A = this chain, B = another copy of it.
Amino acid sequence: MRKRVVALLLLLAAPVWAQDMPLPSWNDTGTKTAILAFVADVTDESADTFVPEADRIAVFDNDGTLWSEQPVYFQFLFALDRARALAAADPAWATTPVLKAAVAGDMKTIMTGGHAALLEIVEATHSGLAVDQFTAQVADWIATAKHPTTGLRYDQMTYQPMIELLDYLRANGFQTFIVSGGGVDFMRAFTEQAYGVPPQNVIGSLGKATYRVVDGVPQIIKDPGIAFIDDKEGKPIGIERAIGKRPILAAGNSDGDYQMLQWTTAGTGPRLGLLIHHTDAAREFAYDRPSAIGQLDRALDDAPGMGWLVVDMAKDWARVWTGD
Q: A241 in the interface, Cβ–Cβ < 8 Å? A: yes
Interface size for A (C-beta < 8 A) is 32
Could you give, for residues 30-62 of chain A, a 1 whenever the CB lies within 8 Å of some chain B CB and a 0 otherwise? 000000000000000000000000100000000
Query: Do the beta carbons of B236 and A206 come within 8 Å of each other?
Result: no
A43 CA to B218 CA, complexed, in Å: 26
0/1 interface trace, chain A 198-210, chain B, CB 8 Å (1 if under): 1110100010011
State which residues 221-269 of A face B: CB under 8 Å. Answer: 233-234, 236-237, 240-245, 259, 262-263, 266
- Shortest Cβ gap from A32 to chain B (Å): 28
Does A200 lie within 8 Å of B266, measured CB to CB? Answer: no
Q: Are A200 and B245 in contact (CB under 8 A)?
A: yes
Name the residue on B nearest A200 (C-beta): B243
Given contacts A184-B241, A199-B244, A243-B199, contact A233 B210 (CB under 8 A): yes
| Interface pair A211/B263, CB less than 8 Å apart | yes
Counting CB contacts under 8 A, is A101 at the interface? no
Residue A104 interfacial (CB < 8 Å):
no
Q: Which residues of chain B are within 8 angstroms of A262 by Cβ–Cβ distance?
A: 213, 218
Taking the nearest CB of chain B, how far is it from the CB of A224, in angstroms? 15
In the complex, A234→B241 CA distance in Å? 16
List the 3 closest pairs (A to B, CB-CB), nearest first. A199-B244, A211-B233, A211-B236
